[in-house]
Amino acid sequence: MQKDTTSSGRGGEYHQTASEGVERMTTQQGIPVSDDQNSLKQGTRGPTLMEDFHFREKIFHFDHERIPERVVHARGYGAHGYFETYDPIPELTRADLFQRKGEKTPAFVRFSTVAGNKGSADLARDVRGFAVKLYTREGNWDIVGNNIPVFFIQDAIKFPDLIHAAKQEPDRGFPQAQTAHDNFWDFISLMPEAAHMMMWIMSDRAIPRSFRFMEGFGVHTFRFVNAEGKSHYVKFHWKPKQGLQSVTWPEALAINGADPDFHRRDLWDAIQSGNYPEWELGLQVFDDDFADRFDFDILDATKLIPEEDVPVRKVGRLVLDRMVDNFFAETEQVAFHTGNVVPGVDFTNDPLLQGRNFSYLDTQLKRLGSPNFTHIPVNAPKCPMHSLQQDGHMAMTNPTTRANYEPNSWGDAEGGPREDPDGGFRSVPEENPGPKVRERSETFADHYSQARQFYISQTDVEQRHMADALVFELSKVETPAIRTRVLSQLCNIHDDLANAVADGLGMSVPEPAEPAIPTRQDLSASPALSILKNGPKSLAGRRLGILIADGTDAGELKTLSDAAKAAGATPMLVGPRVGSVSLSDGSTTATDEKIDGGPSVIFDATAVLVSAEGAAQLGGLHAARSWVADAWAHGKYIFHSADAGPLLSAAGLPDTPGDGVVSTDVLSADDFLKEASALRVWNRAP
């Protein structure tokens, strides 16, 4: 059995030491390292100390490994918009943007994958970055989050190890933008704290249909501070107004082949067509009393607070309404930083957050070449900015005052800006008693209970997808011992999951890994954690693929297209060629996609509107048969004309397909679109 030694303060499961015959780890200066698992903190739950030279050197080297693309989140896509405040919340925070109803704050958002390089495909199984820059009247506030509310590790000192393990293996340079390899699962199998995040990345959350249909999370616990200095803990949520939606793994593979820029193109098309994506900012606000009685430590980034325990309060909406003018100047050069907070927002002692507050600024210096990266327009605040900082590479503006130091005795014009004791940023005066230690708090030691809670919160379909994902990933792992260690971790999460994965791999279920704290069985399911329980209620913002051919009924086509537009969906015509298709009334229409260039996998619902002659014509085309067969296999709704039968049969559909395959003789276009808003017929999917 594997021994989880987190409870002894080490923070991991497997540790070789020099006494076991391996070389002694040192810093770059040759200083022996006693603990590579924990950063130095003031008390087990206290802040990370800047004197921790080993942590700083490790992060420093990691941040400067590559140029010019980001080490993580290299493949990203951004857009401009605004945040609109609903009602003021001065009782919670003095943050300026929350003081006036209807206040519109300019925003820039960058979505990204984590592991892949700049040229990787959009539909990799991966975490998605969800970083929001708010240009408030009192400076820039960056909410630098992900589409998953928890993370792999508890302490930032392990971040280089995590990313190194997830990236392509260094000796062979592959696989890229994938975690289906030995190094990643070797690391995960030795880090029980990653068990909860493992469940999320093996879920459909890691293959979203669109940036527009995924949630965003601040991940960490922050503080809100009001004008009187009273503070509350807060967690940030971005809730998509058009509901959650993901794709299946076979679809992800097909989409990456058909359009590796699928997410980019989707966001571009939506904004350019005026279908502006929207999210609502939700807050989970709680006090010390709740933090003390909550089952888990609110400073542990591998844990979440179920919405059933602390409801999410909606305080505003984020709207993206403008694409960038130049991708490099804005999306590539935008610099986010968890340390960019405004008065009224403050940090907690979350050791992962404390490390991020160091790492981001350091990374930006390496990537953008100068401390003057804030002079780049996308990074510059839109409120007045005055400091005594000057010079440096690529300085665009310099102070015009006589003094470049403070305090000084010069008058206002020559002396430059002065500090504001009343209105300036103030940290919460928190006491942190305790010795200087490299240890993990015992309150961080339950690694499996929330992983189990996440699993039981999913529908049967989602649980099956998670098991399938684990089987696929582990089938690519060449080392049997690694697969066994992962299975031993799954035994602590749920027997059904461990059995399904073991069966898929053709392995026996091993003994469970010995947990630091036994998995709790009493945590209730949280419906908010399921995608399918929080899906869309209409086809708004989705795409309807309509397969046509010569002879298609012009009236049926117009009726369906008009109904789709009225429902907020985008109808797209797919035909045997790009160019004119002759309709039944003698008119012609241009198609948006050629069949083999616009496969059904890229659409959210499908229609086959063909005449008898058109059905016969398309039935002889492999691409057309595949278009229909894939729509069926992926559980898509299919609306078809009465004469489409020969094509459906040629594609291998049953004689009486049912289950979301509906004729125009049976349902009206409006009724079909309402039915198709469910997006999938899961009992039909393989």
What is each CA distance from 377 to 335, 368, 400, 502, in whole angstroms?
11, 13, 20, 53
Structural domain range at position 591: 537-676
What is each CA distance from 322 to 273, 326, 449, in whole angstroms?
11, 12, 42
pLDDT at 395: 84
pLDDT tier at 333 (50, 70, 90 boundaries)? Answer: very high
Domain boundary (502, 532, 562) is at 532
Domains held by the chain: number: 3
pLDDT at 4 over 60: no
Say which of 38, 146, 147, 340 is annotated catalytic: 146
* Tokens standing for residue 219: 């991940």
Active site residue 61: no
CATH number of residue 513's parent domain: 1.20.1370.20
Are residue 243 and residue 358 in the same domain, yes or no? Answer: yes
Are residue 300 and residue 277 in the same domain, yes or no? Answer: yes
Are residue 572 and residue 602 in the same domain, yes or no? Answer: yes
**How far is CA 515 from its chain centroid?**
28
Are residue 179 and residue 322 in the same domain, yes or no? Answer: yes
Predicted TM-score (pTM) of this structure:
0.91
**DSSP annotation of 55:** H
Are residue 527 and residue 602 in the same domain, yes or no? Answer: no
Say which of 73, 80, 263, 494 is annotated catalytic: 73
Are residue 551 and residue 526 in the same domain, yes or no? Answer: no
Q: What angle do CA 141, 144, 145 make, to 5 degrees?
A: 140
Rounded to a whole number of angstroms, the distance between the first and last alpha carbons of the chain is 36
pLDDT at 27 over 80: no
- The 10 Å Cβ neighbour count of residue 577 is 11
Written as one letter, the residue type at 97 is: L
Are residue 344 and residue 454 in the same domain, yes or no? Answer: no
Q: Tell me the pLDDT tens digit for each residue of 424-440.
A: 888 999 888 899 999 99
- The answer to the question of residue 83 being in a domain is yes
Return all residues near 219 (Cβ < 8 A) that are at least 6 apart. 145, 146, 148, 149, 150, 151, 301
CATH number of residue 136's parent domain: 2.40.180.10
Distance of alpha carbon 59 from alpha carbon 294, whole angstroms: 32
What crossing angle do the helices spanning 182-189 and 159-166 adopt, rounded to 10°? Answer: 140
Are residue 524 and residue 544 in the same domain, yes or no? Answer: no
Active site residue 232: no
Are residue 577 and residue 516 in the same domain, yes or no? Answer: no
Judge whether 155 and 39 are in contact, CB under 8 Å.
yes
- The overall average pLDDT reported for the chain is 93
Q: Tell me the pLDDT tens digit for each residue of 639-684.
A: 999 999 999 999 999 877 778 999 999 999 999 999 999 999 998 8
Are residue 72 and residue 182 in the same domain, yes or no? Answer: yes
Burial class, 407, CB count within 10 angstroms (exposed 0-12 / middle 13-18 / buried 19+): exposed
Q: Tell me the pLDDT tens digit for each residue of 513-549.
A: 999 999 999 999 999 999 999 999 999 999 999 999 9
pLDDT at 11: 53
CA-based nearest residue to 456, from 516, 524, 405: 524
Are residue 126 and residue 94 in the same domain, yes or no? Answer: yes
CATH number of residue 664's parent domain: 3.40.50.880
* Tokens standing for residue 271: 């904004």
Domain boundary (479, 505, 532) is at 532
